Amino acid sequence: MPEGPSVRKFHLLTSPFVGQVVTKVEGSSRKINVNDLNALRLQDSQVHGKILYLAFVAAESPLGPTVEETVLQREAASGASSSAQGGQEQVCASETHPQDEELLELQHSRTEPPDAAEGPGNWLRFRFGLFGSVRANEFSRASKANKRGDWKDPVPRLVLHFERGGFLVFYNCQMHWCSSPRADPASDILSVEFHRGRALDALCTPEPICYTLLNQRYFSGLGNIIKNEILYLAKIHPLTQGSLLALSDLERLLDCAAQFSSAWLHSKLRGKGLHPQVYQKEQCPLGHAVMKGTLGPSGGLKRLTWWCPQCQPAVLSGNGDHSPLTE
C-alpha cells in the first residue's frame, strides 16, 4: 500500500479543494453511498501516516454542523447503514495481483485497531490498497493491456466534482465514515512533531529491527520500501536485534528514515520516480549480490526484504550466535 510520502502527496492534491462544495459524485464504491457526498462542502483534509481523512459538512456553512444525521438517514434508507459503522471495502480482484506481497499488508491492515474515535461521523477515511492513488483534474489511463489483452482504464472508487470546475479521483481505496481522525503526529516520520525519543525506545528492544520499523504505532507512514532502503543506508542487517545496536547506530537509522522519506516526498512533488538501492535489486550500488527473504514475526505480517550481506553484516548476539534468517 502507498507509504507516507505518497499519501502526503495525495493530501496536497486534495487541499486546494477545501472549502468547495461537491456538485456531482461518481464512483464504484459499494461500502458507502457515494451520493451522500453530493452538495456537501469539503471542510478539511488531513493525513496521518498512511491514512487520508476528508471532512465534509452541510454546504450552508463551511463551519456549520456535521452531516452525521443526514448521512445516517440516507444510509438507513438505502440499507447500507452497516458500512457507516466501520465496514471496510474489499479490494477489487481485477485491480490487484493475488501473489503480490503488498497484498499481505492490505489484508493485515484489516486486523489493526480501529480509529480512537470510531463510529459514524463527518470524516471520510481513505486507506489505499495496491496501486491506490488520488488524482486531481485527470483520470488514470491504462499503461498496458491486462491478462485478457484488454486496455481497460482503472475504475475509480470515487469521483468528486466541485463547484469551481475541478475534480478529485480516488482509486483502489477502502472508505468509511468516522467521527474524527486517529492522529498521532509524534509517530509520523514526516511530521515536525515526530518524537525521536519514543522511536529510539521502540528500536532498543530485542526485536529484530526490520519488525519494529513497520510498527505503525511508532513509525506511522513507514512502509516496506522505506524499511529496506534505510536499513541499507544505515548498514544494518534487517534481523539485527535493536538491543544489540549502539545508540549511535539507532540515531543514524532514524536520520536515514527522516532524510529518505523527505527526499522521496520531494521527488514525488517534482514528478520524479524513486531509484532504490536494494529494494527489488539483484546487486547493491557496490556490486555485491543482494539477498532476499520473507521476514516477519511469528504469527504476524511477513514482508519481502532485500539486504546486502556484505554492506549489512549480521550482528552477533551475546552468546555468539548470528541472527536467524528466513529464506
Same topology between domain 4-178 and domain 185-307: no
Grade residue 130 by pLDDT with cuts at 50, 70 and 90: confident
Q: Is 19 exposed, middle or buried (0-12, 13-18, 19+ CB in 10 A)?
A: middle
Give the pLDDT score at 149: 74
User: Which residues belong to the active site?
Assistant: 2-3, 50, 303
Find the mean pLDDT for residues 199-224. Answer: 96
Find the mean pLDDT for residues 84-89. Answer: 32
Find the mean pLDDT for residues 171-178. Answer: 95
Grade residue 144 by pLDDT with cuts at 50, 70 and 90: confident
Closest by CA position to 199, among listed 252, 262, 263, 127: 252
The grid coordinates listed for 118 are 470510531
Higher-confidence residue: 143 or 85? Answer: 143
Indicate the average pLDDT of the chain.
83
Higher-confidence residue: 37 or 91? Answer: 37
Does residue 98 carry a pLDDT above 90? no
Find the mean pLDDT for residues 22-51. Answer: 95
With pLDDT > 90 as the criterion, what percentage of the chain qualifies? 66
Give the pLDDT score at 67: 44
Does residue 292 carry a pLDDT above 80? yes
Higher-confidence residue: 139 or 317? Answer: 139
Out of 103-117, 167-181, 206-220, 294-308, which region has the weakest mean confidence (pLDDT)?
103-117
Give the pLDDT score at 101: 47
Grade residue 31 by pLDDT with cuts at 50, 70 and 90: confident
Grade residue 70 by pLDDT with cuts at 50, 70 and 90: very low
Does residue 5 carry a pLDDT above 50? yes
| Cβ neighbours, 10 Å, residue 273 | 8
Give the pLDDT score at 57: 95
With pLDDT > 70 as the criterion, what percentage of the chain qualifies? 78
Give the pLDDT score at 317: 67
What are the residue ranges spanned by the domains of the chain? Answer: 4-178, 185-307
Does residue 105 carry a pLDDT above 60? no
Give the pLDDT score at 318: 57
Find the mean pLDDT for residues 209-233. Answer: 96
- Domain 4-178 in CATH 3.20.190.10: yes
Out of 30-34, 41-45, 91-95, 284-288, which region has the weakest mean confidence (pLDDT)?
91-95
Find the mean pLDDT for residues 234-262. Answer: 97
Q: Domain 185-307 class?
A: mainly alpha
56-67 per-position pLDDT tens digit = 999 875 444 444
